[in-house]
Structure 1
Amino acid sequence: MVIAVVGIAVLGLLGAAHWYVWRRLVRDVSTPRSRYRRAGTVLVVLLPVLSLLALVGGRAFPLAVERWFAWPGYLWLAVLLYLLLALLVGEVLRPLLLRLPRRPSRDRADRPAAEELVVEPSDEPSGGPAVKGVAVKGVAVKDVAVADSASRRLFVSRVVAGAAAGVAVGVVGNGAYGVLRGPQVKQVTVPLAKLPRAAHGYRIAVVSDIHLGPILGRAHTRRIVDTVNATQPDLIAVVGDLVDGTVPELGPAARPLADLRARDGAYFVTGNHEYFSGAAPWVDFVRELGVHPLENARVELPWFDLAGINDIAGTSQGQGPDYERALGDRDRGRAAVLMAHQPVTVHDSVRHGVDLQLSGHTHGGQLWPGNYLAELANPTVAGLERYGDTRLYVTRGAGAWGPPVRVGAPSDITVVTLASLRA
């Protein structure tokens, strides 16, 4: 029942948003029977249908079919967001533009007054030479004023609509280029009190939220693998949300992960999207690729413990996070680095004496102003923060979910350099 109500509310909001966009970008800038109005109306109906198909495509269609909906459908959602924001700014500017003084046309300014003024006889019974109205070439001044006002409103509507469309397309185009170009490398140094001097400078490449699916595929994985390997890390941590689909569909796209190279290996923990796609097959598949899954498990490396927990989304399937299994019997005199997809688990990490938690999940908000919404659900949206004796680092992720677009939250692969306080 709740899901149905939420679904109806979301459809209602989408309908209202598209009606508003149609009004400002189509109706207000065109004549009723123009080709532009007909084409614009068709697009405003078709594009949200493609967006809905893209959102439900993974459950209703095979991946090859879903790709046809995903590109236009998801991109339109991003364009719609920035169209709405730009049009709302336009609503503030519109009254100001309508009040700007208008320069008189040259032909009217040069025309003698005698040609403009026509005095018509009065219809009043009393008769007499009274002025009924003033006309310009047979058109009443009142009508001229109305026509002039309508012309100005049309001009302002077209200016606002054109500017809003230009801004939206420009922002989304730049954001899509950033995703398709691939993530950039960030460098972060994290001091750990328990880290021995011999491990000072140890480098962990943190990768999250690759989101292989109908848009991002094998070429995206190859870019990420090449970027990670170029940093020459000591260890690679893949902290969830690798895929949006099944192993038969996306296994070939993930296969370049077999080429990840690090002295102490590559490790993987599940994210919430793995449980949407079937986590167990993906855990087996990445193991075949040489990436070591940590399912509520721990590896004792020479200088610190590396642990990983399942994502919270696995709880409903009996595969949720288990801190006791991962960390319960460890030597607390050693530093502990935990891979956990969602940053919200940091409070449990504090209770279990974790020194550093590596997370993703938030995408840094992905599409501004989404970062403000992400702050409501996550203790840290991006970057390094401290909670008690635990450091939390959240990467913005290497891919994108839904629209292959990022605005104000560029994708990254982070090299975390561990620093010993004893060095």
Structure 2
Amino acid sequence: MRRVLLVLTLLLLTGCRADGGGAVLTGECAGQDGTGIDADHVKVGGIYPLSGPASAYAAVAQGASAYFAHLNRHGGVDGRRVEFLVRDDAYEPARAVEEARRLVLHERVFALFQTLGTPSTAAVREFAHRWKVPQVFVATGAAAWGAEAERRPWTIGFQPSYVAEARVYARYLAEELPHARVAVLYQNDDFGHELLDGFRRAIAGTSVRIVAERGYEVTDPGVQGQLANLAASKADVLLDVSTPKFAAQALAADAAMTGWNPLHILNGVAASPAVLQPVGYDKVQGVITAGFQKDPAAPEWADDPAVRTYLTALERYAPEADPGSQQVVFGWSAAEAFVKTLRRMRCPSREALRAAAHRLDDVRLGMLLPGITLSTGPGDAFPIEAEQLSRFEGERWVPFGRVIDTRAGPAGQ
């Protein structure tokens, strides 16, 4: 009894009251949910495929963890230390939901930061909506996180949508290879279908056309067979919509085919040097991708303060991570965005975090390319909507052309 009275006293002193195991705020923020946050800490949960067929994305968690460790060393978020709990779903939606349940109902996290992958995020979204827990800056480019924000406001994306990325490739081909014949390798799930469908819509009205499509399952051992079938089309362009493990296989198979030499467009989620290196840098010259982040290894960023901070922090807090990995950079950048959103909350509550994430105004992040910022508002729940094309040259991605606003219409317009 004495322990219960002590807990109730502490809640009252901090402007909270106990309610169903959570912390309901009083005063100016009366009725809002302050579970997982107090004057000294904020507890956050992230769900990633640390194992399984998409385990390469564990690098995203490394980047986010390094940022939070760096932040905590320098005072946290307005004095609050971020406690970041990382869980493994092995890229399985059912397991992702189970981990979300543990984080929310047992660990009492303030928010879910970065569930990774479209199927897992979609499954967790329903749970987050039911329990009114923010699911912030999810690591997937499905357009649903922005398009359905009015019905599911507790979930918000971060990166440009797969549809937006498809528009970038379609526009490039319409301008540079206007009569291109395209073969498509795609992952047979929501991620793969969304980018492929977005590309199909974006080339409507142009002379660019798809001449072959082959899908693969994440449980398949490889994609060499699919590449052989696509090669028979003699297409000018190979649009590679795959995750890292299969992207490496596709790049290697493409390089080995002496009778077929298409322009290889690699989707952004697999465009890490760690994917290309095992294939051999000499075999992937000229591959094109779209991105929105700085390359820490690029000489033009050698003296950039944000890049130097990133590299120093990574060496200290995640020495096992590859500093050149765009997945690591992605995790770092999303964590920085999360912290800047926390600082915009009008109350220390889940409701205030949700509102702040939908009220971002030209927010700058250190590792984003110049000219690319985060903005959200009424009717716009897509935080990043600009990208720039890059070509692989030597041992790195080299940006070319201008930053492209992906909100614009199809390639033919």
Q: TM-score, normalised by structure 2?
A: 0.33
Q: Which structure is larger by alpha-carbon Rg, 1 or 2?
A: 1
What is the TM-score when the length of structure 1 is the normalising length?
A: 0.32
